């Protein structure tokens, strides 16, 4: 039979290096974007968000870049640490009222090597 | 102290059974959600409730029935469980319908044998 496994994009980085996780979003009408981190056995946890009227936003050790022209979002993590190992999801919001909901992209597995 | 808590953490059951997952949030939020995460980690919204009222009901089989007894609780009942229901189910909440940020519980791993 066919074995089913995880086929997440993966990124391995050396501890202390910078990480860049990329995401292509689907809807040109999306006006809000958010990055979540999901550690093994836990729920997604908010990292940083950005609205479509910005192209860059910085947090503590993290930066999100938004390129609306090519519908691309990236998450940069400075000085990556072992605790950063997790699956990272981008998500977008579009629409209004009850139709406005968070749509997740496929995740990226980040592994930090010692 | 957990903001969004769901029980049980693991649920193993036979095909055809009925089971429930409970969720509670102590953040004082108005809006709660159920998401399903498949084995490939893809997260998809199932339902959202605002002040106990159903807002979003994605194309989910009617074997899945959410119930919100009050705005701090959103339970998920599943009838006649099927193999394809095996997944991790996440409850989440947000301050209100217009709030962008969602807070997630730690998930319920459902395995249907």
* Residue B111 CB contacts under 8 Å (≥ 6 apart), including other chains: B10, B11, B12, B13, B86
- Which residue range is the domain that position B85 belongs to? 4-112
Question: Hey, which residues does B36 pair with through a beta bridge?
Answer: B44, B89
Reference A105, options A87, A92, A86, A96; nearest CA is: A92
Predicted pLDDT at B1: 60
Q: In this predicted model, what pLDDT tens digit does every residue of B35-94 receive, in sequence order?
A: 999 988 899 999 999 888 888 777 889 999 999 999 999 999 999 999 999 999 999 999
Using 70 as the pLDDT threshold, list the residues of chain A that sit under it.
Answer: 1-7
Question: Domain tally for chain B?
Answer: 1
Task: Give the angle B16-B12-A86 at the CA atoms, nearest 5°.
Answer: 130
CB spacing of A7 vs B107 below 8 angstroms: no
- Cis peptide upstream of residue A50 (ω within 30 degrees of 0): no
> Does domain A16-94+104-113 match CATH 2.60.40.10?
yes
Chain A: which residues have CB within 8 Å of chain B?
A: 4, 6-8, 32, 34, 36, 38, 41-46, 49, 87, 89, 93, 97-98, 100-104, 106-107
Q: In this predicted model, what pLDDT tens digit does every residue of A35-49 receive, in sequence order?
A: 999 999 999 999 999
Q: Which residues of B touch A87 (CB under 8 A)?
A: 41
Which of A34, A43, A87 comes nearest B41 by C-beta? A87
Predicted pLDDT at B89: 98
DSSP-derived secondary structure letter, A71 = T
Cα gap B23→B16, rounded to integer Å: 23
The CATH number linked to B54 is 2.60.40.10
């Amino acid at each position: 039979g066919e074995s089913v496994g995880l086929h997440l994009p993966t990124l391995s980085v050396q501890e202390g290096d910078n990480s860049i996780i990329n995401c292509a979003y689907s809807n040109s009408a999306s006006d809000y974007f958010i990055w979540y981190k999901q550690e093994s056995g836990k729920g997604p946890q908010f990292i940083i968000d950005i609205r479509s009227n910005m192209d860059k936003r910085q947090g503590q050790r993290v930066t999100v870049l938004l390129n609306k022209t090519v519908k691309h979002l990236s998450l940069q993590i400075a000085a990556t640490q072992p605790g950063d190992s997790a699956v990272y999801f981008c998500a977008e919001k579009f629409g209004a009222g009850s139709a406005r909901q968070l749509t997740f992209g496929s995740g990226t597995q980040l592994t930090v090597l010692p | 102290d957990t903001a969004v808590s769901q029980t049980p953490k693991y649920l193993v059951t036979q095909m055809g059974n009925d089971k429930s997952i409970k969720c509670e949030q102590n953040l004082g939020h108005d809006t709660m959600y159920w998401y399903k995460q498949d084995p490939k980690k893809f997260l998809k919204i199932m339902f959202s409730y605002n002040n106990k009222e159903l807002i979003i009901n994605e194309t989910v089989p009617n074997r899945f029935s959410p119930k919100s007894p009050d705005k701090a609780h959103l339970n998920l009942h599943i009838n006649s469980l099927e193999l394809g229901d095996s997944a991790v189910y996440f409850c989440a909440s947000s301050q209100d319908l217009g709030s962008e940020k969602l807070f997630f519980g730690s998930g319920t791993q459902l395995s249907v044998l």
